[in-house]
Amino acid sequence: MNTIVAYPATEDQMSLLKGLLKEMKIRFSVKKEKKKDDSLFTKEEYFAMLDESIKQYKEGKYTTVHNKEELKQFLEQL
């Protein structure tokens, strides 16, 4: 038998689908989807950040770290 995978966008859609499947006596399971990670960027946001970083580098707005101790000091300053 084939499998159907559905991705309801709202709780109402989920409730309706579950009710329909129960009414039709179709066996189903619900898997909780991980919440969207807000730390993820769109492609456009990512490239904009890269462009900004390149601009800052060209303007000399960066820090060079040569060893662990310098890294530790830099991170403590943040």
Residue 61 resides in a domain: yes
User: What pLDDT shows up at residue 60?
Assistant: 94
Domain that holds residue 59: 11-31+38-77
Q: Look at 66 and 37; give whichever has higher pLDDT.
A: 66
Q: Which residues contact 7 (CB under 8 A, 6 or more apart)?
A: 33
Residue 52 resides in a domain: yes
pLDDT tens figures, 38-76 = 677 888 999 999 999 999 999 999 999 999 999 999 999
Residue 1 resides in a domain: no
Q: Look at 73 and 36; give whichever has higher pLDDT.
A: 73
What's the total number of domains in the chain?
1
Residue 6 resides in a domain: no
Residue 49 resides in a domain: yes
Residue 2 resides in a domain: no
User: What pLDDT shows up at residue 73?
Assistant: 92
Residue 15 resides in a domain: yes
User: What pLDDT shows up at residue 66?
Assistant: 95
Integer CA distances (angstroms), 23 to 4, 26, 35, 44, in order: 17, 8, 29, 44
